[in-house]
Amino acid sequence: MENQSTVNEFILLSFSKIREQQILHFLVFLTIYLVALMGNILVILAIVYDHNLHSPMYFFLANLSLIDACYISVTVPKSMAISLTNDRRISVYGCVSQVFLIMIFAGAELSFLTVMAYDRYVAICLPLQYMKIMNWNACLQMAAASWITTIVHAIVQTISTFRLQFCTSHIQQFFCDIPKLWRISCTDTMFNEWLVVAVVLMAGVFCFSLIFISYGFIFLTVYKIQSSQSQHKVFSTCTPHLTVFSLFFSTAIFSYTRPRALSSISLDLLSAVLYTVLPPVMNPIIYSLRNKDIHQAAWKMSNKWFQFHRVISNTFPPKSQIFIIEKAMT
């Protein structure tokens, strides 16, 4: 980090300078963060707990929930701390960590959304061959490929970004965002910009094409189904996935590839919230909380936990009860 001698720390953007609005932002983001965290953790625990959910579909769903829980934890807690303490500073190494982790989890989000679309294609269009195609070796290989490629991409983007020399420390975003770091750089960022555009376009075209082709075959298969109830069930499963993918993909593309002439602080904040905060909140609701199998697994897990709590309470009574028992014995 020798070329970072001019900047020892960065200053992030606050959503407001008015104290009342800062408190409001803290409370809103705290609520969103807790909802996202609890929803995704509940999904993971339900899948791990219920052996009936140990299938490829729920394996990918557990990975997606883990990604979402980590993804929102990279940016939102720091933004809440800024609103609460009014201290907008972040160290250079903290900024490096944010960029690296955002690249990992954003890439993994896109990868697993694509894999889940392929999984639905095989399940709906090739049901008799599903277990043969989506065996555990294939699932583990797809998951490993997704994680490895995103980690390698994150390393490349992080190194290329922080090889730049920064002349000012003020980042016009509530987290360390690569396009915002370009703007405070004194050195030429043309290579960085073309690298991001090339990677985003290649990954975007590949993922978008695979999802588009998968759902094209799915809709053709569903169209041939005579039962309207079955058609509605498939469409209700596919539409939310397409909605979340389209929102995440379009906002990420818009944030990383749009020209600087189309940039403004309010628009940048909105697009960043849409692709960093909204997916981790919506994914548990769309993919899991509307799923009857997840409902049943979560209900069984809750009942078992409450029964365990009652057994512990009966075995070890509260101090007040112990005092009454001891007094009665004396």
C-alpha angle with apex 187: 184 to 188, nearest 5 degrees? 105
> Which of the 8 DSSP states describes residue 52?
G
pLDDT (0 to 100) of residue 234: 67
pLDDT (tens place) for every residue of the chain, 330 residues total: 444 446 788 898 888 788 888 899 899 999 999 999 998 998 888 888 888 888 888 899 899 999 999 999 999 999 999 888 888 889 989 999 999 999 999 889 889 989 988 988 898 888 888 888 999 999 999 999 999 999 999 999 999 989 888 888 888 888 898 888 888 888 888 888 888 878 877 887 888 888 888 888 888 887 777 666 666 666 666 776 777 777 777 777 776 666 666 667 777 787 788 778 888 888 887 766 566 777 777 777 777 666 655 555 555 555 554 444 444 444
Are the C-beta atoms of 241 and 1 separated by less than 8 Å? no
pLDDT (0 to 100) of residue 318: 53
State the Cα–Cα distance between residues 197 and 94, nearest whole angstrom: 25
pLDDT (0 to 100) of residue 198: 84
Confirm or reject CATH 3.40.190.10 for domain 2-290, answering yes or no. Answer: no
State the Cα–Cα distance between residues 108 and 120, nearest whole angstrom: 18
State the Cα–Cα distance between residues 259 and 255, nearest whole angstrom: 9
Domain boundaries along the sequence of the chain: 2-290
pLDDT (0 to 100) of residue 190: 85
C-alpha angle with apex 256: 8 to 204, nearest 5 degrees? 135
